[in-house]
Amino acid sequence: MPSLLSPLPSSIGDLGVAALVVPNTVSATDIDAMFRNDRSLRAVVIEQGESFGLLTRDHLEFQLAGRLGYGRALNTRRSASELLPPAGTTMPADLDLQSAAQAVLERPECERYQDVLVLGPTGPRVVTVSDIFAAVSAHFRHASLHDPLTGLPNRRMLEEHCPDISAGAGLPDVGILFIDLDDFKSVNDTYGHRVGDAVLTEFARRLARSVGHRGSLVRLGGDEFAVLLTDVDEDAACAVATGILDSLEAPFAPDGCELRISATIGLALGVDIIAEDMLAGPEVLLRHADGAMLRAKQEGKGRIGRIGPCQEPATFARQAHIRRRLSSAVDHSALTLHYQPVLDLATGEEAGVEALLRWNDREIGPVAPDEFIPLAEQTGEIRRIGAWVLEQACAQSRSWIDAGTPRHIAVNVSPVQFASGTLPSDIRTASNRHGIPAGMLEIEITEGMAIVDVPAVASQLRELIDMGVGVALDDYGSAYSSVAMLRVLPLTTLKIDKAFVRDIDSEPYTATIVRGLIQTVNAMGARVTAEGVERQEQLNILRELGCDTAQGYLIAPPMAPSEFRMVTNKTKGNS
């Protein structure tokens, strides 16, 4: 499973290309000839004693063109230093990438996209603005796909980069090991999370040594790990699993504590689902392996569990059932909306609510959004569901306004819903029908699917903002989001994915990333909301970092309208 093909740049000095340096006495004519002879040359650096200046192709063309077209004749006798712009951006090579991006955003509009001169011990370098934001985006992308504690790929990486497994794909020789450390909670409770983290880090090292090149490692979360194996049969997979258990024979010794740790492993192979008459993916195998692990724990822990295709009903059958029942969800009134409050961190008051979709099917029972939303996007059913959600949210807004408790409501919108190009008019029609101001609504762009036609979506978002509707990019730092998206999509709010918030009080690196993101987004005139706040320590740090709003179970869980109440001021005293 791939990670990054090359090390991530850590500072702006790692970017760009070595600059061509010329003395300040070189004539304008000679500089012009350099650019004409080398069409790939973007800029030259003019040496002026102890200082340097950057002369770009664009600026030179502007100087030599002249207002009446006589620039080249008038500038023939001028030296290179006389052609330099009055002000240019120079950055030290050791400047971190987020600070560099912030400095670019603070430049005047007319200079914002000009190349940057970087000075360091190896000499001047020329860095494009796109290089800077691409590198920052790569850092966020890497963080979203890797566990910050162990450095291993995370579940999202597993989902994105594992090969599809299917009966017709010729991949029966794929297997997954689901590894759970036994009674690990007692380690944290007895010795503290610092010791627990040290054990997890050491176990990740042992796991890597045991598996070697035979598989790809993933930390699923907490004390759960997975190993993706390819080109293996049952004997080979069991040999890898046995090696992992053997690696735990030696005690762990964090901070002088001698700890004996065991693990239970669940094994699932591609042949387990080979009999299914539908395509399946790694998530199916992972669930098989999870079930095998749980059964092994019930049998005594510290062992390898195996579930074959005849022992458990195929999990993929549930997905097929969901797909069949999805089209009737709206017609049978099986959908409901719950609302989760959003807290203003500056005032401690409620800033609005997010509408969250719930489905309780009469045949299947409760179905989580993570299960049915991707299927709805694949089948196109999301358009009808999205229209229903918008209608219900507007009706609820009208009800709250009539009750004297108006609330801003955020509604999730899939990229699929933008395809028709009618989303702004649909929202205008729904809000007018219920008599609510457009400013009471916000849409959140979810990331179940990538945005295919970015210019068309950006145009619709701009129309919505002009109407007064808020626009938020949801789950930022995951899936298809990138720093580039912040530049091309009109936004009023950015929502930080809970994967970053989860570790913000235990991982300084995560807090640094979030701080830089908040500063960048605020500088662009948008607000930042943190998702998944579950601990008071997380909320305190988010306040210190300048985050605008937050939501999560610490503040309030999603609630049905009938049980809804204003967020209490229980967090206000901690501000």
Other Cβ atoms closer than 10 A to 81: 15
Q: What is the mean pLDDT of residues 279-290?
A: 70
Confidence of residue 169 (pLDDT cuts 50, 70, 90): very low
Q: What share of the chain is helix, strand, coil (3-state, %, to 5)?
A: 45, 20, 35
Write out the CATH class of domain 155-312. alpha beta
574 pLDDT tier (thresholds 50, 70, 90): very low
Instruction: Give me the pLDDT at residue 68, please.
Output: 46
CB-CB neighbours of 103 under 10 Å: 15
Residues 217-228: what's their mean pLDDT?
91
pLDDT at 170 over 80: no
pLDDT for 448 equals 52
Q: Which residue has the higher pLDDT, 307 or 79?
A: 79
Confidence of residue 161 (pLDDT cuts 50, 70, 90): low
Domain ranges within the chain, ordered by starting residue: 12-139, 155-312, 335-563
281 or 332: whose pLDDT is higher?
332
Q: Cα separation of 194 and 254, whole Å? A: 9
User: For residue range 114-151, what is the model confidence (pLDDT) as tens digits?
Assistant: 888 888 888 888 888 888 898 888 888 888 888 889 98
CA distance 303 to 522: 51
- Rounded to 5 degrees, what angle do the CA atoms 295, 301, 305 make? 45
- Please provide the DSSP assignment of 233-283 as one string: -HHHHHHHHHHHHHTTSSPB-GGG--B---EEEEEEEGGGSTT-SS-B-HH
Q: Is 448 helix (H, G, I), strand (E, B) or coil?
A: coil
Options 3.20.20.70, 1.20.1740.10, 3.10.580.10, 3.90.79.10; CATH for 12-139 is 3.10.580.10
Mean model confidence pLDDT for the chain? 83
Mean predicted confidence (pLDDT) in 548-557: 95
pLDDT at 281: 59
Q: Model confidence at 552, in pLDDT bands (50, 70, 90)?
A: very high
* Global confidence as pTM: 0.51
Please write the tens of the pLDDT for every residue from 517-547.
999 999 999 999 999 999 999 999 999 999 9
Q: Which of 41-55, 221-235, 384-398 has the lowest mean pLDDT?
A: 41-55
Arithmetic mean of pLDDT, 340-351: 94
More confident residue, 338 or 271: 338
Q: What is the pLDDT of residues 189-199, one digit of tens each?
A: 888 889 999 99
Range among 109-113, 452-456, 476-480 with highest mean pLDDT value: 452-456
Q: Which fold has domain 335-563?
A: TIM Barrel (3.20.20)
52, β-bridge pairs:
47
Of 176, 200, 206, the closest CA to residue 188 belongs to 200
- Per residue in 241-262, pLDDT tens? 999 999 999 999 988 888 999 9
pLDDT the model gives residue 111: 76
β-partners of residue 252 are 259
Per-residue pLDDT band for 479 (boundaries 50, 70, 90) equals: low
Backbone region of residue 525 per phi and psi (left: phi > 0; alpha: psi in -120 to 50; beta: other values): left
Task: Check pLDDT > 70 for residue 368.
Answer: yes
- Between CA 204 and CA 212 the distance in angstroms is 12
